[in-house]
Amino acid sequence: MRILIIEDEEQLATAMAVVLEKANYTVDICLAGDDGLQFARTNLHDLIICDLMLPFIDGQTIIRTLRAEQNPTPILILTAKNTSDDTIRGLDLGADDYLTKPFHTGELLARLRALSRRSGQIIPTMQLTMANITFDPQTLRMSTNSAELQLTLKEAQIFEMFLKHQHQILSKDHLLEKVWGYDSEAEANHVEVYISFLRKKLHLLVADIEIKTVRGLGYILENKQ
């Protein structure tokens, strides 16, 4: 499960990430509201932890924007003790739960487990298609009418990005930031390796689509000519 933390207190965000990673979650961190909203829009995350008081774009605006865009990702808001009105507004805007600072890590994990169970009941699997290829983000399977292949997590995250941005050029830097995280030590050759893996699997499925290299710019998913 992949979690996005939008929290401007870097020490707190890092501490939460350590706890969540020990619990086998994959974590991305954004320290500002504008970056957080951009990350949240990728739909790569299963849950979002969002502070209300953020620089550039506040948490309420993030929640309002995501829900207006029909983004169903469960959101747990973080709030200070003296901001009950803001908490109520956040919940009214579409957040799913809240946690008051300071909090115990056990309570954080319990609330995330509860949201995960709840989201599993109410959020349908949204399959993505292009030409003769179908991708299921929940099972990480790429298929045609006659065959299917299992993708690794990184392959699935990259392929999902391409399917959600069909016929658009995605740079290596963009893919690195969205899939590995802006503070990752991954480099451009990591993207190249996973693009190669995806191309091989598309070839095995006799796909009518392909990932093309746009020299100097990045990659694009297009129909075969």
Check residue 125 and give its pLDDT.
46
Predicted pLDDT at 185:
72
Average pLDDT over residues 71-88: 80
Window from 59-63, 109-113, 183-187 with minimum mean pLDDT? 183-187
For 93: left if phi > 0, alpha if psi spans -120 to 50, otherwise beta; the answer is alpha
Element (H, E) at 150: strand 148-150
Q: Which of the 8 DSSP states describes residue 27?
A: E
Over residues 152-179, mean pLDDT:
89
| Rounded Cα gap, residues 108 and 15, in angstroms | 12
Residue keyed to tokens 């739909």: 43
Determine the pLDDT at residue 223.
96
pLDDT score recorded for residue 10? 93
What is the reported pLDDT for 192?
A: 93
- Residue 215, pLDDT > 60, answer yes
Please count the other Cβ atoms lying within 10 Å of the Cβ belonging to residue 156: 23
Q: How confident is the model at residue 183 (pLDDT cuts 50, 70, 90)?
A: low
Tokens at 150, concatenated: 């299992």
What's the pLDDT tens digit per position in 6-51? 999 999 999 999 988 888 788 999 999 999 999 998 878 889 999 9
The domains found in the chain, sorted by start residue, are 2-122 (3.40.50.2300), 128-223 (1.10.10.10)
Helix (H/G/I), strand (E/B), else coil: 149: strand
**Going by C-beta distance under 8 Å and a sequence separation of 6 or more, which residues neighbour residue 21?**
27
Q: Distance (Å, rounded) from C-alpha 129 to C-alpha 143?
A: 10
Classified as helix, coil or strand, 50 is strand
pLDDT of residue 65: 94
178: its two tokens = 């969205």
pTM of the model: 0.55
Extract the tokens encoding 62.
Answer: 């993030």
